[in-house]
């Protein structure tokens, strides 16, 4: 059986954030700063512009296009996955600390693929660039969650014809996932976490 990519987002108290952030935030920022990540994001923007806002997913022979593989590889680099592999930090231990009584976490898994890649394909690069953190990974204290909520809203609050187009694109991306849950769940957690005055953890790993 192939592994699955997990994406979990939930609320943490600021005491926990203060303990986690010194390890996680530099790793997330370093991953975002890799020249390969920066170059691949620029290539995604160019490929999406040629495709009317999104890359073409399938070739005529039924295989994925080269543009899809580039987007997948960019989104697949996770600071939390790297830290878990080296034993520096095991993020599942932090998932156990989430304040699930106040905010129900968002969780999505896709076998042999990546839920953030599917979401980004649905949103397109212009909206995806507004999402705080780096391709689904983030650690913020409560004041930063409130301050960055408008950016999360700008990235994720799609409606009308744009929403239908985003959902169709998510459905078209490889792997089994719930398109509406993937589009709506992260923003719900952002809003509820900000309202509760809590910090936020968003993290992706393969398992």
Beta bridge partners of residue 124, listed in sequence order: none
Which residues, at least 6 apart from 137, have a Cβ–Cβ distance to it below 8 Å? 24, 28, 31, 78, 79, 80, 202, 203, 204
Summary mean pLDDT of the chain: 92
Written as six digits, the tokens of 126 are 């212009």
Q: Over 50: is that where the pLDDT of 1 sits?
A: no
Q: pLDDT tens digit string along 11-46?
A: 999 999 999 999 999 999 998 888 577 788 899 999
| % of the chain residues with pLDDT over 70 | 99
Residue 2 confidence (pLDDT):
57
């Amino acid at each position: 059986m192939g592994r699955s990519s997990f994406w979990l987002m939930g609320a943490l108290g600021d005491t926990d954030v203060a303990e986690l952030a010194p390890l996680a935030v530099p790793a997330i920022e370093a991953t975002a700063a890799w020249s390969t990540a920066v170059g691949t994001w620029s290539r995604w923007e160019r490929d999406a512009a040629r495709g009317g806002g999104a890359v073409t997913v399938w070739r005529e022979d039924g295989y994925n296009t080269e543009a899809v593989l580039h987007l997948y590889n960019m989104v697949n680099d996770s600071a939390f996955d790297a830290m878990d592999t080296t034993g520096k930090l095991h993020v599942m231990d932090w998932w156990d600390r989430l304040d699930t009584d106040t905010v129900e976490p968002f969780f999505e898994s896709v076998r042999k693929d990546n839920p953030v890649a599917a979401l980004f394909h649905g949103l397109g690069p212009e909206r995806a660039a507004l999402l705080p953190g780096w391709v689904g990974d983030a650690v913020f204290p409560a004041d930063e969650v409130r301050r960055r909520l408008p950016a999360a809203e700008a990235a994720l609050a799609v409606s009308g014809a744009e929403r239908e187009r985003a959902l169709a694109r998510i459905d078209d991306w490889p792997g089994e996932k719930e398109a509406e849950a993937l589009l709506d769940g992260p923003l719900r957690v952002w809003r509820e976490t900000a309202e509760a005055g809590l910090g936020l953890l968003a993290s992706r790993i393969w398992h």
